[in-house]
């Protein structure tokens, strides 16, 4: 039987979810802002039911997606719907929250027989609305139950992980990389402009496989994960280059934050005896500091 889907929270992401899901599912929609439900309905392929309250929306569906602006909003909704959700209802948190917030939501609605899972969204709202989003789902596919085919119907790619909250953990790590990489690019771009290097040249250098992708595809995926640190560019040479750009930045008056912080890691690595190894060996520092092994990993399930 085709499940009935509810969406609470109809901002940009919530409306995109409604647009994508409406092609295949009967929808119940709710947002606290007057008129937003009707606005979302105009984007739907099949007319949804716009509920008058979160409780009415939740009581009528099998799978309920939350797309709300803050963890506090999700928790408030959970308290409102706790007494009315049907036993077996799957509540899917799609907003970016802490893993602990997922557990808090589950504690509120589970006494009535509902289950909370997390399905963090990667990529822009446009792709989500087009049904080509990417989801990081906390539990395994079997534990995601009815939510798995629902999400798969609007996804380009799905990663099923190991347990509740893991989708949010993966999303926060991925966002940390994106946000830090942007600061790094702005710093490096400022250095380029200050030295009259054309930005299109800088962009092309970063776009090339030898640019931004190389640390991921070669040093992380090939060298670190296989503990292969022989040959390549030595840590001591990488430290030399890092020091040279810091000297250049000081002379030009260009403030650096991300680049300056990374230089300290190269200093530590050389001090730890990694100077003659490829600088992918920096990963060994974190293995030592936090007691992990990059080669000993568990891969999540992935659906295309």
What's the pLDDT tens digit per position in 142-170? 999 999 999 999 999 999 999 999 999 99
d(CA 253, CA 197): 16
pLDDT for position 73 = 97
For residue 173, pLDDT beyond 50: yes
Residues of the chain above pLDDT 90, percent: 96
Beta strands 27-30; 115-122: pairing state: unpaired
Cβ atoms of 32 and 10 closer than 8 Å: no
Cβ atoms of 96 and 175 closer than 8 Å: yes
pLDDT for position 295 = 84
Cβ atoms of 139 and 286 closer than 8 Å: no
The encoded tokens of residue 136 equal 């990081």
Q: How many CB atoms lie within 10 A of CB 205?
A: 14
For residue 300, pLDDT beyond 70: no
Of how many residues is the chain composed?
304
User: Mean pLDDT over all residues of the chain?
Assistant: 95
For residue 82, pLDDT beyond 90: yes
pLDDT for position 301 = 54
pTM of the model: 0.91
The DSSP annotation for the chain comes to -PPPEEEE--SHHHHHHHHHHTTTS-EEEE-SSTTHHHHHHTT-SSPPEE-SSHHHHHHT-SEEEE--SSHHHHHHHHHHHTTTSPTTPEEEE-S---HHHHHHHHHHHGGGT-EEEEEEEES-HHHHHTT-EEEEESS-HHHHTTHHHHHHTTEEEEEE-SSTTHHHHHHHHHHHHHHHHHHHHHHHHHHHHHTT--HHHHHHHHHSIIIIIHIIIIIIIIIGGGT--SSSSBHHHHHHHHHHHHHHHHHHT---SHHHHHHHHHHHHHHTT-TTSBGGGGHHHHHHHHT--TTS--PPEEE-
**Better-scored residue on pLDDT, 50 or 123:** 50
The encoded tokens of residue 69 equal 């602006």
pLDDT for position 124 = 86
pLDDT tens, position by position, 251-270: 999 999 999 999 999 999 99
pLDDT tens, position by position, 8-38: 999 999 999 999 999 999 999 999 999 999 9
Which of 107, 110, 152 has its CA nearest to residue 131?
A: 152
d(CA 107, CA 114): 10
d(CA 284, CA 270): 12
For residue 171, pLDDT beyond 70: yes
Cβ atoms of 199 and 192 closer than 8 Å: yes
Tokens 């907003």 appear where? 95
The mean per-residue pLDDT over the stretch 225-231 comes to 95
The mean per-residue pLDDT over the stretch 271-290 comes to 98
pLDDT for position 137 = 98
For the chain, list the domains and their CATH numbers. 5-162 (3.40.50.720), 170-290 (1.10.1040.10)
pLDDT for position 225 = 93
For residue 304, pLDDT beyond 70: no
Residues of the chain above pLDDT 70, percent: 97
Phi/psi of residue 91, each to 5°?
Answer: -100, 120
The encoded tokens of residue 239 equal 């430290």
- Give 132: exposed, middle or buried? Use CB within 10 Å, 0-12, 13-18, 19+: middle
Residues 30, 32, 35: CA angle, nearest 5 degrees: 75
């Amino acid at each position: 039987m085709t499940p009935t889907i509810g969406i609470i929270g109809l901002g940009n992401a919530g409306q995109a979810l409604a647009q994508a899901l409406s092609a295949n599912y009967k929808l119940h929609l709710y947002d606290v802002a007057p008129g937003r439900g009707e606005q979302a309905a105009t984007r739907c392929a099949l007319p949804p039911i716009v509920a008058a309250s979160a409780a009415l929306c939740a009581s009528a569906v099998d799978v309920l997606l939350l797309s709300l602006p803050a963890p506090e909003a999700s928790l408030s909704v959970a308290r409102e719907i706790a007494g009315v959700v049907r036993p077996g209802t799957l509540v899917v948190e799609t907003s970016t929250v802490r893993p602990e917030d997922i557990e808090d939501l589950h504690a509120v609605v589970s006494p009535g027989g509902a289950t909370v899972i997390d399905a963090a969204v990667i990529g822009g709202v446009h792709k989500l609305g087009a049904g080509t989003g990417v989801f990081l789902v906390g539990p395994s596919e079997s534990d995601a139950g009815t939510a798995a085919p629902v999400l798969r119907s609007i996804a380009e790619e799905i990663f099923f992980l190991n347990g509740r909250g893991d989708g949010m953990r993966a999303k926060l790590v991925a966002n940390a990389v994106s946000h830090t990489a942007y600061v790094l690019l702005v710093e490096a771009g400022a250095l380029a402009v200050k030295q009259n290097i054309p930005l299109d040249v800088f962009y092309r250098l970063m776009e090339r496989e030898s640019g931004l992708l190389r640390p991921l595809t070669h040093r992380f995926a090939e060298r670190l994960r296989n503990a292969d640190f022989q040959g390549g560019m030595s840590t001591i040479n990488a430290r030399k280059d890092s020091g040279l750009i810091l000297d250049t930045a000081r002379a030009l008056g260009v403030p650096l934050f991300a680049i300056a912080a990374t230089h300290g890691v190269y200093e530590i690595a050389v001090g730890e005896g990694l100077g003659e190894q490829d600088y992918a060996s920096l990963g060994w520092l974190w293995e030592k500091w936090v007691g992990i092994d990059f080669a000993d990993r568990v891969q999540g399930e992935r659906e295309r």
